[in-house]
C-alpha cells in the first residue's frame, strides 16, 4: 500500500513514528502505576512515606500517563482515518479503549490511596499489574500480523 495516498500523505510515517513513541511512554506509565500501588498498599495512611507515594503517583500521572494517552489517541485516530479503519484496526481500537479504561481505574485507585483508602489487596494489585503486558501482546499481534 502506498501510504502517501491517504489524507496524511507523506506525513504518515512521521505520525506513525510519533504514535509508537508515545505508546512506549504511555505503556511505561501503565507498567509503573500498578507496581507503585503494590508498594504503596504496604504503607500506612497519614505517614510521610504515604505522602511520597502520593506525590510519585501524581507526577507519573501528570508527566507520563495522561499526556501519553492523549497523544496516543490523537495520533491513533489520525492513523485510523488515514488507513480507512481495517478490521484489525477496529479490534485494536477496542483493546486500546479497554486499556484506557484500565488507565482510568488505576488513576482512581491512586486517588483512593492518596485519601488513605486501601480498597484493593496486594494480591489483586499484583494480578492487575499484568493487564498492560497482556494487552501489549494482543495489540502487537493485531498490528504486525493483521489477522483480519
DSSP SS3 for 130:
coil
Residue 131 contacts by C-beta under 8 Å, 6 or more apart in sequence? 34, 99, 102
Three-class secondary structure assignment of 55-74: HHHHHHHHHHHHHHHHHHHH
Instruction: Copy the grid coordinates of residue 87.
Output: 478490521
| Residue numbers belonging to the annotated binding site for heme | 19, 92
Q: Residues of 22-52 as b/e, b for ≥16 C-beta within 10 angstroms?
A: bbebbbebbebbbebbbebbebeeeeeebee
DSSP SS3 for 50:
helix
Q: Which residue has the cell 505520525?
A: 15
| Residue numbers belonging to the annotated binding site | 19, 92
Amino acid at each position: 500500500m502506498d501510504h502517501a495516498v491517504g489524507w496524511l500523505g507523506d506525513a504518515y510515517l512521521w505520525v506513525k513514528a510519533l504514535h509508537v513513541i508515545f505508546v512506549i511512554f504511555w505503556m511505561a506509565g501503565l507498567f509503573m502505576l500498578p507496581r507503585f500501588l503494590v508498594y504503596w498498599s504496604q504503607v500506612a495512611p497519614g505517614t510521610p512515606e504515604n505522602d511520597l507515594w502520593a506525590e510519585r503517583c501524581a507526577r507519573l500521572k501528570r508527566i507520563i500517563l495522561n499526556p501519553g494517552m492523549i497523544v496516543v489517541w490523537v495520533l491513533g485516530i489520525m492513523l485510523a482515518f488515514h488507513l480507512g479503519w481495517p478490521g484489525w484496526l477496529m479490534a485494536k481500537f477496542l483493546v486500546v479503549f479497554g486499556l484506557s479504561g484500565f488507565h482510568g481505574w488505576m488513576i482512581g485507585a491512586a486517588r483512593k490511596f492518596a485519601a488513605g483508602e486501601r480498597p484493593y489487596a496486594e494480591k489483586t494489585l499484583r494480578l492487575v499489574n499484568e493487564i498492560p503486558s497482556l494487552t501489549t501482546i494482543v495489540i502487537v499481534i493485531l498490528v504486525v500480523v493483521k489477522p483480519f
